[in-house]
Amino acid sequence: MDPYKYRPSSAHDSSFWTTNSGAPVWNNNSSLTVGTRGPILLEDYHMVEKIANFDRERIPERVVHARGASAKGFFEVTHDISQLTCADFLRAPGVQTPVIVRFSTVIHERGSPETLRDPRGFAVKFYTREGNFDLVGNNFPVFFVRDGMKFPDMVHALKPNPKSHIQENWRIVDFFSHHPESLHMFSFLFDDVGVPQDYRHMEGFGVNTYTLINKSGKAHYVKFHWKPTCGVKCLLEEEAIRVGGSNHSHATKDLYDSIAAGNYPEWKLYIQVIDPDHEDRFDFDPLDVTKIWPEDILPLQPVGRLVLNKNIDNFFAENEQLAFCPAIVVPGIYYSDDKLLQTRIFSYADTQRHRLGPNYLQLPVNAPKCAHHNNHHEGFMNFMHRDEEVNYFPSRFDPVRHAERFPIPPAVLNGKREKCIIEKENNFKQPGERFRSWAPDRQERFIGRWVEALSDPRVTHELRAIWISYWTQADKSLGQKLASRLNVRPSM
């Protein structure tokens, strides 16, 4: 018998119970005991194996993005951007690439309600002919902090109090009072879009700045935008309470039921592009994730469409074990010096190795669908079938060679070692512009949410004054209204 002919699969199920090693189990109800009332024997291998497997059913949940739902489908190029990138999956209109997409909430636990005010993850894994490309983003175009050094502290502040395990506003406004760069993100989170109606009616953004490189080696900075064809819809507070009270998994159910009914969710992919030679022309740093690129200056360019037309086959295998990493790119797409992206390049793969093991990319949902070859060897849970005798490089017994060289950004780097902040902070302009673009009733709801957050009994007078000063610098009328409601004078 060929031991590699059959891999573990429910398609090869026996008609009777067996152990993991295939031995028949004649009684799956009773433990082996000394007599009818005696103690259980340790030699009851089936019982020990069954309990031991059950004890280990739960893998560590994600530190962030623990609550999520996934679906499969395809991405189709609709517009030619081959002048910008040599990425094979973007080579021409009509080209289709299989994908899997995971939507998620960020801060709360795996079983938490999907109606909580929280950013949403929007992660797409493209299974291309040149390897996988993971575009890992959120439903907002900006982020709280611009340097990954702050990320663990940021998450700790947003997570529940380690003493009470309750998420508390005073901890959030305390931490972010030290980081006025967060105002722009809060102009999204505390806006009406802070609670999406479901995953189908939600935008997605790559957030970070990537680089597109064409065949001649010319590089352009790029931001990615997903726009739902069914429009953006959100839940206001009373609606969120009603929906979450009836079903805490409403968004997961909506996604699954819509696909099952043939109502396939679809998004259009757009990009914004900047020539790196022009990055100093703006009053902000284009690589700063707390900033948007103004669409009136840098218009959206259509690229393709994403269609989700197949539900996952198993939640654990294709949602819990699904793993993304912004470092996973393909020729024609590369990183930028975006400080947050540079941290994510390491952190995502590192957390997956902790959560799923060093060979997590061998799991079917994460493995590339193209031919691949390397000498990464053995380790925990390695199930790659290998019969080669040569596991080193180079070798005259193995003809494997380097791939053809592909272009990466050609910029020459120089500078001294130092820890520094982005010079063009400009923390207040874009949040103020966003607030002024809203209708009065939307502005009023935003103000009400901030009044509630700053009314936490443990938020000090100093903290309220700091936040009112920040929002006053973004928009004078906004600061005045907050000060009036909270009976605080801004300390500019």
Say what the pTM is: 0.94
DSSP 446: H
Closest CA to 239 of 247, 230, 231, 227: 247
CA distance linking residue 226 with residue 122, whole number of Å: 9
Q: Which of 46, 108, 132, 138 is catalytic?
A: 138
- Are the beta carbons of 184 and 430 closer than 8 angstroms? yes
Cα separations in angstroms, 468 against 189, 190, 459, 462: 17, 15, 13, 10
Using DSSP, state whether 124 is helix, strand or coil: strand
Closest CA to 430 of 290, 307, 324: 290
CA distance linking residue 239 with residue 247, whole number of Å: 12
- Are the beta carbons of 140 and 205 closer than 8 angstroms? yes
CA distance linking residue 467 with residue 318, whole number of Å: 42
Q: Which of 46, 65, 179, 225 is catalytic?
A: 65
Per-residue pLDDT of the chain (492 residues; tens, 9 = 90+): 565 555 666 666 788 888 888 888 999 899 999 999 889 899 998 999 888 888 988 899 999 999 999 999 999 999 999 999 999 999 999 999 999 999 999 999 999 999 999 999 999 999 999 999 999 999 999 999 999 999 999 999 999 999 999 999 999 999 999 999 999 999 999 999 999 999 999 999 999 999 999 999 999 999 999 999 999 999 999 999 999 999 999 999 999 999 999 999 999 999 999 999 999 999 999 999 999 999 999 999 999 999 999 999 999 999 999 999 999 999 999 999 999 999 999 999 999 999 999 999 999 999 999 988 888 888 888 888 888 888 888 989 988 888 888 898 888 888 888 888 889 999 999 999 999 999 999 999 999 999 999 999 999 999 999 999 999 999 999 999 999 999 987 555
Q: 348 among the known binding-site residues?
A: yes
Other Cβ atoms closer than 10 A to 110: 14
DSSP character string of 455-484 = T-TTS-HHHHHHHHHHHHHH-HHHHHHHHH
- Are the beta carbons of 362 and 243 closer than 8 angstroms? no
CA distance linking residue 22 with residue 42, whole number of Å: 20
Peptide bond into 358 cis (omega under 30): no
CA distance linking residue 491 with residue 302, whole number of Å: 45
State the angle between helix axes of 440-454 and 476-486 in degrees (0 to 180), rounded to the nearest 10. 50
- Are the beta carbons of 260 and 71 closer than 8 angstroms? no
First-to-last C-alpha distance (Å) of the chain: 79
Closest CA to 179 of 466, 482, 483, 481: 466
Closest CA to 427 of 316, 332, 285, 328: 285
Q: Cα angle at 277 between 276 and 280, to 5 degrees?
A: 90
Q: Structure tokens of 303?
A: 């690229």
DSSP 129: B
Cα separations in angstroms, 432 against 139, 322, 476: 20, 38, 9
Instruction: Note if 319 is an active site residue.
Output: no
Instruction: Note if 220 is an active site residue.
Output: no
